Structure 1
Amino acid sequence: MINRSLFENTATAFALKSDSELERAYFLFKMISSQPLVRIGTAATNFALKAKLPVEGLIRSTVFDHFCGGVNEEDCLSVIDKLYTKRVSSVLDYSVEGKEVEEEFDSALEKILKIIKFCDDREAMPIVVFKPTGFGRFLLYQKKTEGQELTSSESEEWNRIVERFDAVCKLAKEKDVEVLIDAEESWMQDAADDLVEDMMRKYNKGKTTVYNTLQCYRWDRLDYLKALHERGKKDGFNVGMKIVRGAYMEKERKRAEDKGYRSPICENKKETDDTFNNTLSYILENLNDISVFIGTHNEASCYLAMELMERYNISKEDNNVWFGQLYGMSDHISYNLAADGYNVAKYIPFGPVKDVMPYLIRRAEENTSVAGQTNRELTLLKTERKRRKL
C-alpha cells in the first residue's frame, strides 16, 4: 500500500533549507500570492534591468537563488551536489529564451553539448533538456507544421536544425545521458514532433535516450502518443515521453479564437487532469515500449503514478520512470518521493541573471494564477516553521 500522507512530511521536504532559506521561501511565496505585487514587481524589475540599475545583486539573493541554480554550469555544482545527498538528481536547464539568429543557435548547441559532457562523470546529472526553438527559428517550425514549401535557403536552415538535434542526441547516446526535448506552441509543434520522432527512431534502440514532451492540456495528445507507440513497435524503437500539463494556455486559446479554429486546449482543468492521468496510465501499462518523465506538481497525479507502479509491479528504481519538479517548488513532492526510493529530478534553470528574467517572471505569474499551488507551498512552509520552533 502506498503512503497517502507522504507529501505531508515537511521535515524531509525542507531538510536542505536553513532557517534563513526557509524564511526567504515563505516571503517569496507570500509575495507571489498577490497578483498586484507580481505585476508591480515585474514592471519594476524590467525597468531596472533596462535602465541598467544595479539590481542584479538583489535579484540574485532573492528570487534568482530560490528558483535558479546559478549563472553557469560550474556555479550550479554546489546545488547539484546538495540535492544529490537526498537522492534527488538534477536536470540543468539553460533558461535563456527568444533567440533568432544562427550564431545564437550554434551557441545554444555548444552549451547543450557542454552540459552533456559535464553530466558524463556526474551520477547526479543523468538528464539534459533543450527547447526546439533554442536550435532554430520559431517561424521555420511553423512553416513546416503548416505544410508550406521552404525556399532553398530555408531548407538549408532547416537542415542545420536537424544537424543540431542529431549532434545532441548522438553525444547523449554515447555518454548514456537522456535528452528531454520541450514542447512549445501547437502551431509549430508538428514539425518538432516529426523531428524528435526521427531522433527516437535513430537513437532509442534498446535503451531510451530521446524524450519528446506531451502537453496534456491539449485534447489530442493521447491519440498522438498511441499512434507514435504503434510506429515505435513496428519500427523497433522505444518511445520516450515527458508528460506535463502545459504552459501556453492563454496564448493558445486567444490564437484559436482570433483565427477561428477549434482550440487545441481542453475545456477545463478537470479535462486536463483526466488527459494527464489517462496518458500516465497508458504509459505505465506499456512500460516495455515507453519510458516516462512525469513532470508534475500535482499531488494526485503523483499518488496515481505510485499506485499504478505498485499495481503493475514496476520497481521504484526502474529507470523508465522518473518524477520531476522545478527547483524552488514542490519540495514536499520531490524530496519525499526520493526518500521513499523513487527516481526524482529537479529542473534547475541557470543563466545570466538578466537573460533568465523572462523565465522567472513566467514562474511568478504561473504561481499567481494557480492559487492552490501557492497556498499549498505557504501552508507547508508555515508547518515547517512551526515544527522547527517547537
Structure 2
Amino acid sequence: MREDKIFNNTEIAFELKSDSQLERAHFLFKMISIEPLVRIGTAVTNFALKAHLPVEGLIRSTVFDHFCGGVNEDDCLDIIDKMYTKGVSSVLDFSVEGKETETSFDDAMEKILKIINFSAEKDAMPIVVFKPTGFGRFYLYQKKGEGKPFTNAESEEWNRVVARFDAVCKLAKERDVEVLIDAEESWMQDAADELVTQMMQKYNTEKPIVYNTLQMYRHDRLDFLKSQHALAKQSGFYLGYKVVRGAYMEKEHDRAREKGYDTPICESKKATDDNFNAAIRYMLDHLDDMSLFAGTHNEESTYLVMDLMKQKEVAIKDNRVWFGQLFGMSDNISFNLAHLGYNVAKYVPFGPVKDVMPYLIRRAEENTSVAGQTGRELMLIKKEKERRKQVASS
C-alpha cells in the first residue's frame, strides 16, 4: 500500500457535495450493501414502473439523482459546470437501453451528434460516448459476428448501422471531440470490434479520435490489443482504447454454461486485475501509437498508471492518458486526481427515469457484487461526515 494515499482525502473528494447530498449518498450505499435488499428493490421497482405506479419522483430524488446527471442534456449542465471548477471533465452518456426500432436508433444517433456539437463548444466536455446497440439491433451484431449470412433486409439494416457509426465518427473528427464506443456482451462484440476498427482506420489517421473499449475480465483481450496494434502499425492509423474490467460477468458465465462453451471471463478477480494492469502497461509502453482512457474505480490500478506515467516522463496533462469514473462513484479518485492536475472525466448518465432504470440496476448490482467497493464508499462518506462535524464544532 502506498504511503501517500492521496485517495483518502475526503475534503477534496466531497467538496461539491452538500451535507444533505452526503447523507443521501450514505443512505444509498448503506442500502446497496445489503444484497437481498438490492434484489427485492430491483424487482419491486421494475414492477412499479411497468404498472405505471407513481414512483418516478421517489426514484428521481434518491438513486437517480445520485448516479445520473438529469433527464436531458440541459439538466446536466449545472453538474458539468460545477465539476469542471474542480478540474473534472464530463462525458455525457445517454443511458437509454433496450430500444430496438430504426426510429430509436436514428434518434440515438441524432442525440450523439447534438452532444458532439455541444461538446465542441464546451471545454468541460472533451469526450462523447455511445453503445453499439444504441445504433443497431443486438441480434444483428450477433449474427454478423457468428458469420451467418444476412437476408437482403438485414444487409440494408446493417448498412444503416454502419452509416450511423460513420456519421458520428466523421463529425467527431471534424469537431475534434474524442468518441468512446462502449463494449457489450462477448457474443455480439466481434462485429462491433470489426466496425470500430474500420472507424479507427478511417478517422484516426492523425491521432486517436475513435476509441474502442477493452473489457479486461475477458482473458482474450490482451492478445486482441496486441493484434490491433500490429494492424494499426501496418495500416498507418492510431489506436484509442478505454480499458475497463467489465460489466456483464454473470450474463457471460450463464450463457457459457447454457451453451456449453468455456467462459470468456478470467478465472479469478486476481487474474482480471493482472490482465487489466498488463493492458495498461502495454499501452503506456506504446503511447506513440495509441491513447488510453483508464476507466477504473480501483485505487491500485490508478496508482499504477500514475507511477508508469512518472517513470516514462509522461506529462500529467498529456492528452493521450485519461482517467475515468462513473458519476456518483469513487469521487475520492476522480477529484483527488484532478486536484493534482491529471486528465479526469466522469461518465454522466442521463435520460428519462424509466429508460435509465436498466443502467441504475446494473450500478446497484455492481456495487453489491464488487468486494469492498461499497464498504470503501461508506467508509469515506463517514470519514467526511465526521470531519465536517469537527470543523463545525471547532
User: Shorter-chain-normalised TM-score: which range?
Assistant: over 0.9
- Structure 1 residue aligned with 2:118: 118
1:338-367 alpha-carbon deviations (Å, 9 max, x no partner)? 001100000000000111111111111111
C-alpha separation in 1, matches of 2:371 and 2:243: 22
Which structure 1 segments of 5+ residues have no match? none
Secondary structure of the 1:99 match is: coil
Deviations 1:86-119 (A, max 9, x none): 0000000000001111111111111111111111
* Structure 1 segment 177-216 matched on structure 2, within 5 A: 177-216=177-216
Contact kept in structure 2, 1:127 and 1:179, CA below 8 Å:
yes
Q: Secondary structure at the match of 1:347?
A: strand
Distance 1:139 1:129 in 2: 21
Q: Percent identity?
A: 72
Instruction: Look up the equivalent residue of 1:78 and give its one-letter code.
Output: D
Q: Does 1:35 align with 2:52?
A: no
* 1:232 counterpart residue number: 232
1:364 maps to which residue?
364
- Structure 1 stretch displaced more, 316-325 or 32-41: 32-41
Secondary structure, in 3 states, of the residue corresponding to 1:322? Answer: strand
Paired residue secondary structure (2:364):
helix
Aligned residue in 2 for 1:337: 337
SS in 2 for 1:155: helix
Within 2, Cα distance between the matches of 1:30 and 1:259? 37
SS at match of 1:231: helix
Report SS of the residue matched to 2:294.
strand
Shift of 1:40: 2.0
| Separation in structure 2 between the aligned mates of residue 227 and residue 3 of structure 1, nearest angstrom | 38
Distance, in Å, in 2 between the alignment partners of 1:4 and 1:237 is 39
Secondary structure of 2:205 counterpart: coil
Question: How far apart are the structure 1 equivalents of 2:38 and 2:262?
Answer: 32
**Separation in 1 of the partners of 2:212 and 2:379?**
34
Q: Is the 8 A contact 1:291 1:321 kept in 2?
A: yes
Residues 238-257 of structure 1, C-alpha deviations (whole Å, 9 max, x = no match): 00000000011111112112
Give the aligned partner of residue 92 of structure 1: 92
Q: Is the 8 A contact 1:95 1:349 kept in 2?
A: yes
**For each residue in 1:13-51, what CA deviation from the matched residue of structure 2 results, as whole angstroms up to 9, or x when unmatched?**
000001111111001100110112112221222222122
Classify the secondary structure of the residue corresponding to 2:372: helix
Partner of 1:165: 165
How many residue pairs get aligned? The number is 389
* Distance in 2 of aligned mates of 1:252 and 1:33: 23
Matched, 1:80 2:83: no
2:148 matched to which residue of 1?
148
The reply to whether residue 278 of structure 1 matches residue 278 of structure 2 is yes
Any unmatched runs of 5+ in structure 2?
A: none
The answer for the alignment partner of 2:21 in structure 1 is: 21
Structure 1 position 222 matched with structure 2 position 219: no
TM-score by length of 2: 0.97
1:127 is aligned to 127
> Displacement of 1:4 after TM fit?
3.3
- 8 Å CA contact 1:33–1:371 kept in 2: the answer is no
Distance 1:47 1:261 in 2: 34
SS at match of 2:52: coil
2:51 is aligned to 51
Q: CA deviation at 1:54?
A: 1.7
SS at the partner of 2:262? coil
Q: What is the one-letter code of the residue matched to 2:376?
A: R
What is the CA distance between 1:330 and its match in structure 2? 0.2
What is the alpha-carbon distance in structure 2 between the residues aligned to residue 164 and residue 73 of structure 1? 20
Q: Report the alpha carbon displacement of residue 3 of structure 1 after superposing the two structures with TM.
A: 6.8
| Residue 11 of structure 2: aligned partner | 11
Aligned runs of 1:238-249 on 2, under 5 Å? Answer: 238-249=238-249
Kept in 2: contact 1:4–1:303 (CA 8 A): no
| Distance (Å, rounded) in 2 between the aligned partners of 1:196 and 1:290 | 15
What is aligned with 2:267?
267
Counterpart secondary structure, 2:194: helix
Whole-angstrom CA distance in 1 between matches of 2:298 and 2:4:
14
- The residue that corresponds to 2:60 in the other structure is 60
Aligned partner letter, 1:279: A
Other structure's SS at 1:211 match:
strand
Q: Secondary structure at the residue paired with 1:123?
A: coil
Offset of 1:263 from its aligned partner? 1.1
SS in 1 for 2:288: coil
Confirm or deny that 1:137 pairs with 2:140. no
Matched, 1:298 2:298: yes
1:178 Cα deviation from its structure 2 partner: 0.4
SS in 2 for 1:329: coil
In the TM superposition, what whole-angstrom CA distance separates every residue of 1:263-287 from its partner, at most 9, and x where no partner exists? 1110000000000000000000100
* Aligned residue identity for 2:18: S
